[in-house]
Amino acid sequence: MRSSIAGIICAFTFFCIVALDSKINNSPPFGRFLDPFHGFWQNEINDDKITSNIITTDLNNKAKVYYDSLLIPHIYAENEHDLYFLQGYITARHRLWQMEFQAMAAGGRLSEVFGKLTIDYDKKMRRLGLRYGAEKFIEETKKDKKIYGVIEAYTEGVNAYINQLNFKDYPVEYKFFNYKPEEWTPLKVGLIFKFIQYSLSGTDYDFENTNVLKQIGKKNFDLLFPDMLPHQEAIVPYDSAWAQWDVHHPKKPKNFKPLSGLRKTVGFKPDPDNGSNNWALSAEKTANGNPILCNDPHLNLSLPSIWFSNQLTTPLMNVMGMSIPGIPCIITGYNENIAWGVTSARRDDKDWYKILYSDHNHTSNYIVDGKYESFELNIEEIKVRESESIIDTIQQTIWGPIVYDHSFGAEKQRAGYALRWSAHDPSNELKSIYLMNKSQNYEQFNSALAYFSGPSLNFAFISKDNTIAMNIQGRYPNKWKEQGKFVMDGARSDMKWQGYIPQEHNIRIKNPKKGFVSSANEHPAGKDYPYYTYGQYYEFYRNRRIHQLLDSGNNFTIQDMTKMLNDNFSLFAKENLPFLLNHIDQLQFNPTEKEAFDSLRNWNYRYDKDAYSPIYFEEWVNALMEDVWDEFHNHPTKDYRMPTRETTFYLLQHDSSLYFFDELETSKIENITDIINQSFHEAVEHVEDWKRENDNEKLEWSKYKKTNIKHMGLLPGFHALEINNGGYKGIINATKEGHGPSYRMIVEMTANGPEVYQVVPGGQSGNAGSPYYDDQIEKFEKGEMYKINFYSKDQFIGNTPEGLYKSEILKK
């Protein structure tokens, strides 16, 4: 990819420097961008040389920074200020543009760079209150001098790096989009925290549920959108302690009924498949008699990579793993005695309230319990590049900010929609992460989690003393059944949250008899758990496949775990394809359909990269879903919710007479066999269309799926396109078109410390001109991993450890 970028630039450099030194149609100043002495070429040349120096006078004591062959920094400092200062400096050195881009995205400031194109995005981020939540986060963190000191030191380090830069040193994105880095602040750390929380809890369906409920009624809604399907397997199916708890159950208000949820669609929802896999095996389940932990968070695949790997060491701490650029400490990782990894718990922590205004202008007051309440007004200035600023007035209510009203994303009626979100409450997640980094056993780790409010995560844990555990951690509203599933009446105060589930009543499991714990975004607990645990979408297949594999034997090795993380077997296909095939009328086949049918009949249910059966199966399922649920496409907005694949196929196999299965657009009354045959013909024709459009290219799943890892700023030439791998949603290897494992990690906790393997679908550097920008993609494609060296504290005291490159720290 780098050579192609260089070739393109070389071809245009000569005349562009002369002719394009001024912006045309909002494009960058290409002359400066292509200047060989200051522009893009400097990014091609300055390719993150691992022996480059750090120049600063801000350290209190001696410190050292080493790089390994993957550009992973191993940072040693004699005190914590210097450690986190250097973490901020080093992270900015390799990921500065990414950090600032994400902070600006969270704060609703992208229009300052991209102009009118991102105004609606900025409005929504501001109205959702990410900055408001970030400010609350910082206010709360300031109460803890030690933790706020970590943020301050990190911020100082980032700014020390920024202050050394000239234009030629800027990351290429600043040059292309023609702006410059600005000062880093503690608030930006909070903004990135809240952006993560939005990414993992932003896919609520309150409006969609309400619209569908109005369309089909409560009985049909419960049938098509059950909280839990039969055969659903929970992370913790049962715990005898639950029956002993003193539980306060909030009472459902009298005369409660969901309200209209109709509104226009405003996009930017996170991917509903944001999730992950993690599992932990006890020593009794492994070949070497050591506990093993595996983790692969599923997020949007992007360049630069979402994660930045580093080791942080002081005389009192030694921790390594994955950080998120812009946030200090290690988010998931390991130290000498423990390891941990996370998945999304998908618990609902966002509720919507329909506001009743007191006047037609929607400006004076709103009504709660028959009384007038005054708005608190937040005036937001959205600066727009090369245009006048946009002024947006956000009305704050007792529930939270009004996100949708007559001026933005809602129908023009006497109503607005306010958001109650736990991310707006004061919190100090960084204290939790800081203490996890230092924890030496499960008791310390469990205590550290008490400060972690969100996003809701499943923490898998192992320790050297052979403790394995799973904590489902967050600050969860204590809701009455179905509270928050639908839009609620904001004119009634009895719709409010009635406190939170006590921390000690959060779901957790330690050292189960089966010898493993796992989570894959499935339902958190069995029906005996005494609190309401609604989630927007709980996994049904991927988690059960993990259970099957881990239940299948003992003596598991690192190699077995690597194979599991790359498992392409589809339980969804195995449980549903035979049913479909049994309803097919082969007498109506043409030769192409016969070939497709035979391939599916002989398929091994694996979404391997060179297989073509998954293409026909996926298109068949997509066509079937469209044909079965055609009623939902007639909704006056796009804010309707389709039943899931899991529910659809459960109903197909258990209630095939359901009237929804008849297509409304035809006069004939179709039965299940009709729909299955019709959708099969449609699927085969769709595949034939693809072949014609692609010059009869050979059918292979990886080519058809087209997993692309795109640059965060969508810069052409900076992507990694058509990754050659298998997998899909609902499969352990959950790699979709632009979404999937954002890293893979395996940790075996041996007597000598952690033995670690990992890979990211990208690299350590954010510089597209660096060999470390995308150097790990080839291994990721092959399902392979790198062995990672975790160095002891003592190894940093003397000479440079073997295999590392020292980055000298010099005074200005």
Tell me which DSSP letter residue 284 carries: G
Which residue do the tokens 């095996």 mark? 281
Element (H, E) at 87: helix 80-106
Q: Name which of 250, 245, 248 is nearest 504 in CA terms.
A: 245
**Terminal CA-to-CA distance of the chain, rounded, Å?**
36
Length of the chain: 812
Q: Name which of 356, 531, 357, 347 is nearest 421 in CA terms.
A: 347
Q: How many helices (H) and strands (E) does the chain have?
A: 23, 30
Whole-Å CA distances, 656 to 60, 395, 653: 72, 48, 6
Contact 310, 74 (CB under 8 A): yes
Is 348 annotated as contributing to ligand binding? Answer: yes
- Name the phi and psi angles at 12, rounded to 5: -105, -5
With b for 16 or more beta-carbon neighbours within 10 A and e for fewer, the 138-153 pattern comes to bebbeeeeebbebbbb
| Angle formed at CA 52 by CA 50 and CA 56, multiple of 5 degrees | 130
Cβ neighbours of residue 468 closer than 8 Å, sequence gap 6 or more: 280, 281, 282, 291, 460, 461, 462, 510, 511, 512, 515, 516, 517
Q: Name which of 235, 228, 234 is nearest 518 in CA terms.
A: 235
Cβ neighbours of residue 115 closer than 8 Å, sequence gap 6 or more: 26, 384, 385, 386, 387
Residue 118 CA to residue 605 CA, distance in Å, equals 42
Which residue do the tokens 């196929």 mark? 649
Contact 530, 565 (CB under 8 A): no
Residue 184 CA to residue 325 CA, distance in Å, equals 12
- Is 657 marked active-site? no
Contact 225, 629 (CB under 8 A): no
Residue 459 CA to residue 450 CA, distance in Å, equals 12
Amino acid present at 345: A
Burial class (CB in 10 A: 0-12, 13-18, 19+), 181: buried
Tell me which DSSP letter residue 494 carries: G
Amino acid present at 799: N
Choice among 276, 309, 323, 432 that is catalytic: 276
- As a three-state string, the secondary structure of 633-683 is HHCCCCCCCCCCHHHHHHHHHHCCCCHHHCCCCCCCCCCHHHHHHHHHHHH
CA 253 remoteness from chain centre:
35
Quick one: CA torsion of 160, 181, 760, 805, rounded to 10 degrees? -30
Tokens of 264: 């226009």
Q: Is the peptide bond before 250 cis (omega within 30 degrees of 0)?
A: no
Element (H, E) at 318: strand 317-323
| Angle formed at CA 604 by CA 601 and CA 610, multiple of 5 degrees | 105
Contact 580, 645 (CB under 8 A): no
Amino acid present at 172: V
Angle between helices 672-693 and 613-628 (to 10 degrees): 130
Q: Name which of 540, 643, 627 is nearest 580 in CA terms.
A: 627
Q: Is the peptide bond before 455 cis (omega within 30 degrees of 0)?
A: yes
Residue 176 CA to residue 508 CA, distance in Å, equals 48
Instruction: List the binding residues.
Output: 348, 351
Instruction: List the binding residues for Ca(2+).
Output: 348, 351
- Annotated catalytic residues are 276
